[in-house]
Structure 1
Amino acid sequence: MIIQCTKKLADEMKLKVSKPDLLNVNQIYCWHAHLFKIGRKKCVLVMNNVTRYHFVLYGLVKKDFVMFEEIVKMNIVSNFLADGINPDHVDWYINQLGDIQFYATSDRSIISQMNDSILSLEYIIYYEAERGNTIDIFEINRDLNCTPMMKIPKYPNKMMIDALNEQYSKN
């Protein structure tokens, strides 16, 4: 698995990242990640390079960045299952990931779409907070993946389901 970190996230995790060479890598296993804050809470948005499927890790603390690999994999599983992806496909995908390698970002269009998702996320969270509602980040992740994006022909959750079905059927 490859996670391409923005400079903010790499600095937070104290990583030295270099530009990736992704020519011989299946992009379905590549993700971008960006650190940002909502209020005083540290958050990370993680987005798949191919499908633009994404999720937010909300309210991270220093120790979470030490266990970042486990947290990302755990959230991939929980978000995939919540979006109705076949559990066999989820297990197969997680087994294919291998160790996480960190690199610098390489695609400005993904960064742009991540920034759009962050704006939507901030709006939703502040809207819910104004109304006194509890913030369910799990449900917000569902909503964000049902939002159209310009570079892909379908919603991100549908794109991920199709990509996993295709990869699973090849094996």
Structure 2
Amino acid sequence: MIIRPTKALMKEMNTNVDALPNIEQDEMYSWHANNFIMNRKKYIIFVNDKSRLSVTISKIRGNQGKDIKNIFSSALKDYLLVEGFKEKWMDSYIGEISDIKISNTNNRSVLGTMVEAVKLMDSIYSRGAIPDFHELNKENNRIIYKPIDYLKPIDVFNELIKEYHGS
């Protein structure tokens, strides 16, 4: 599994951006990450390269940056449980996360999807509705995106989980 933080996120976590290796990985196991501010609070969004599934978490502090792998895997598992994924599929996928590496961003399309997801969350907040993170993630993952053939990220991820870990 690969997490690909943006330079802004790496700087926020006090990590040397130039020291990151370029690692190739199956897009199902590659996630881009970025930080953003909404309603005067800091957050991190993770977007899966293949399905465009997004998971947003509240901002981790700089000293927790080294634990981003555990924080991400925990947030992902919590979200997938809320979505009703089969536990055996989740455990299999999350098990793949045990060896997470950090690498450079490598897909502008994924970064664009990330920007769109942040805009959606910002519009939800600006309307005065302040749902919990699971509700925000659900909203983001039910928007259709062109790079995945105008499908919903949750549906694409569900099909991919079945394909990779099903039976």
Tell me, yes or no, if the aligned pair for 1:19 and 1:105 is still in contact at 8 Å: no
Matches within 5 A, 1:154-165: 154-165=151-162
Aligned to 2:78: 78
Change (3 A) 1:6 1:66: same
Query: Offset of 1:19 from its aligned partner?
Result: 5.2
Query: Offset of 1:59 from its aligned partner?
Result: 4.4
Query: Offset of 1:39 from its aligned partner?
Result: 3.1
1:145 maps onto 2:141 in alignment? yes
Q: Which consecutive unaligned segments of at least 5 residues does structure 2 have?
A: none
Change (3 A) 1:58 1:120: same
- Partner Cα separation in structure 2 for residue 42 and residue 60 of structure 1: 8
- 3-state SS of 1:55 partner: strand
Query: Offset of 1:65 from its aligned partner?
Result: 2.9
Change (3 A) 1:9 1:85: same
Aligned to 1:117: 117
How many equivalent pairs are there? 164
Matches within 5 A, 1:121-140: 121-128=121-128, 134-140=130-136
- The TM-score normalised by the length of structure 1 is 0.88
- The TM-score normalised by the length of structure 2 is 0.90
Tell me, yes or no, if the aligned pair for 2:14 and 2:62 is still in contact at 8 Å: no
- Partner Cα separation in structure 1 for residue 23 and residue 62 of structure 2: 30
Aligned to 1:11: 11
Matches within 5 A, 1:5-44: 5-17=5-17, 18=20, 20-22=22-24, 25-44=25-44
Matches within 5 A, 1:51-62: 51-62=51-62
Please provide the CA RMSD for this pair: 1.7
- Partner Cα separation in structure 2 for residue 59 and residue 125 of structure 1: 17
1:65 maps onto 2:71 in alignment? no
Report the residue type matching 1:147 in the other structure: I
Q: Which consecutive unaligned segments of at least 5 residues does structure 1 have?
A: none
Tell me, yes or no, if the aligned pair for 2:56 and 2:133 is still in contact at 8 Å: yes
